[in-house]
Amino acid sequence: MTLLEVRNVTKRFGSFTAVDDVNITIKTGEFFTLLGPSGCGKTTLLRMIAGFDAPDNGQILLDNKDIIDLPPEKRPFHTVFQSYALFSHMTVADNIGFPLKMSGKTSREIKIRVAETLSEVELSSFSHRYPHELSGGQKQRVAFARGLINQPRLLLLDEPLGALDEKLRENMQRELISLQAKANVTFIYVTHAQNEALALSHRIAVMNQGKIEQIDEPSRIYNFPINRFVADFIGKINMLDAQVIEASGYHLKLKVTGLGEVMAPVREHVKIGDQGILAIRPEQVRIDPLGSEVAAKFQLVGKIKDFLYIGDVTTYLIELPNSIRIEALQPNSFPGHAKLFEIGDPVVVSWQEHSAQFLPD
C-alpha cells in the first residue's frame, strides 16, 4: 500500500537546483534509502518530506493527501538527525518522553511508555543521565528511541550512522534492521555509503545532481545498474569503452576499444551504432594461470601488473593487449595462501557472457 508519494518535486537555492523533478512512491513498512554523493539533493529531499523546507514545485502526498502546507509538528513523521540532536538540558528519559509530552499524553502514561522503551533499547539504567554523559552508540539509541516512541507513520533518518566507527556501525546496521521490523514503521534512510544502503534497504533510490538515476532493490541496483553513474557509484566495476555492432535475439555484439569483439546480453532500447561502456564487476572476472583449461567462451591473455591484498580478498590489476587494464577480485579462501599470483605472471582472463553488460551513454 502506498504511504507517501513525492510527485514532481523541485527545489532550487538561487540558481542551483538541489532537487530536480523527483518522483518517488514509498510503500507502508518499507525500508527505503536515498543514496548518492554529497550534494546530490538527498538531504534536501528528506528535509522537504519532514517539512523543514518547502518545495518550489510539486506535491508530497501522505495517504493521497497533499501535506505541503503542514508544518513539521503536524506531520506524523519523526527524524533521526546525523548529529542526533538530543536536548542537552534534558535527561535521557525526558528526551525520549518529549514527543509524548508534545502530543499531550498524561505524565503517568509518559512515564510508563518511556520506561518500556528504555528497557527495549537497554538503556534503563541511563534514564537520569544527560546526553553528554553517554557514548556515541548510546546517544544513537536514545535518538532512535525518541524517534520511534510516539509511533510515527514514517521515520526519516539522515545519515544516522555517519558518526560511528566501523565496528560499531556494523552492529548498529543489524540493530536497525531488527528495530525496523519490530517497530513496523516505514523508514526513509539517507546515506552516501553504498554498502550501508545495500545492507539495509528494501529499495534504494540512487540520486545524482538532484535527479533520481535508478530506483530498485539492492541486488538489482548492484547487478543491473541502469547507467554509467550507478554502475560506478555502487561498488567497483571495470568500464571499457564499447560500441554496438550487432543486436540479435539475446545477444549484443560489441566492439570494445583495444579488445575487439565481445558479446554481452541484450538490453532494451539499444540499437546498432550506440556508444557506451562494457561494464563488468571485478568479482565476475576470472583469472587462471596461462595454459590451464578455461571453459568460458570469451578469454584474453594478460599479465599481472599489480595487486592489492586486503585480507579476505585480493584485487589484481591485469594488463591486457593494447594497454587495456582490468581488475579481478579473488577470494583468499585457500588456507595459508596470501595470494595466488605474483606481479608479472601471465594469466588467462575470462568471464561469462551474462555477467558483463552494455550500458549506453
Partner 1 sequence: MPLRHFFLWIISLLVYAFLYIPLIIVVVFSFNDSKLNAEWAGFTFHWYKVLFNNHEMLLAARNSLIIAVSASILATILGTMAGLAIHRYQLKFLPFLAFTPVAMPEILLGVSLLLFFLQVLNLTLGMLSIIIAHTTFCIGFVTIIVRARLQGMDESIFEAARDLGATPWQTFRHITLPLIRSAIIAGALMSFTLSIDDFVITFFTKGVGEPILPIQIYTMIKVAVTPEVNAISTLLMLLTLTLIIIATRFDTSMLKGDSKQPR
Task: Give the footprint of partner 1 on this chain (CB under 8 A).
Answer: 50-52, 71-73, 77-79, 81-83, 85-89, 98-99, 102-103, 130-132, 146-147, 150
Least CB distance to partner 1 at residue 172 (A) = 19
Least CB distance to partner 1 at residue 83 (A) = 5
Nearer to partner 1, 71 or 291 (CB): 71
Nearer to partner 1, 98 or 307 (CB): 98
Query: CA-to-CA distance for 217 and 338, rounded, in angstroms?
Result: 35
Query: CA-to-CA distance for 45 and 26, rounded, in angstroms?
Result: 13
Handedness of CA 150, 153, 157, 158 (dihedral sign): negative
Residue with cell 595462501: 337
Q: Are 219 and 251 in contact (CB under 8 A)?
A: no
Nearer to partner 1, 150 or 180 (CB): 150
Distance of CA 214 to the CA centre of its chain: 11
Nearer to partner 1, 72 or 289 (CB): 72
Instruction: Give the full edge-to-edge strand order of the sheet including 186-191.
Output: 77-80, 154-158, 186-191, 31-35, 203-208, 211-216
Least CB distance to partner 1 at residue 52 (A) = 6
Nearer to partner 1, 72 or 346 (CB): 72
Distances (CA, A) of 160 to 137, 143, 189, 227: 11, 9, 8, 28
Least CB distance to partner 1 at residue 7 (A) = 22
